Amino acid sequence: MQLWVGLGNPEPGMLRNRHNIGFMAVDAIARAHGFTPWRQRFKGVVAEGTVGSERILALKPLTYMNDSGESVQPAAAFYKLPPASIAVFHDELDLVAGRVRVKRGGGAAGHNGLRSIDRMLGTQDYWRVRLGIGHPGQKERVLGHVLGDFSRADEDWLTALLGAVAEAAPLLVQGLPAGKPEEFMTRVALLTREPG
């Protein structure tokens, strides 16, 4: 079993925020792979399904981003999951919009959701699925960018990215235990490549 966590904020008015792309990604995976309906559990909502041959518990913490670990830790503890079986989908300022990178461990790089998970799990050794939202160019514009809604101009790449992540999810299932997420990243890149 693997725990796939999408990070975001639960306020209805924040659903389209760039900071909520983690929620959007696990929603897309759950839809594409016929997961159960979402239900409340672990200070969040969970849906279960099978991707490839692996049982996946999808979790969207409802604790607000800065306290995401308060939802992730009890879910991981209940299922006795090691960090290597946990993947956290989150927004990444330092990646070009629409790009995906997967890595295991590392610092929080200023991301409060990751910082909370690190603190509550007592480790940084889980997988991060970094979903590029692009950088606004100036440090003082970062907060407004992250908490701002995706624009109409973002719709094409965002739809393509979420669809690609859902389609390539079986490769992520295979790649995480082996420590080789490259096939997943390559497949997402191919699916989102501009034609021509």
Euclidean distance between CA atoms 54 and 124, whole angstroms: 23
90 pairs with which residues across the strands? 130
Catalytic residue flag (residue 90): no
Secondary structure class of 104 (helix, strand, coil): strand
Q: Which of 19, 33, 90, 145 is catalytic?
A: 19
Euclidean distance between CA atoms 11 and 71, whole angstroms: 16
Euclidean distance between CA atoms 61 and 44, whole angstroms: 4
Chain-centre distance for alpha carbon 91: 7
The catalytic residues are 19
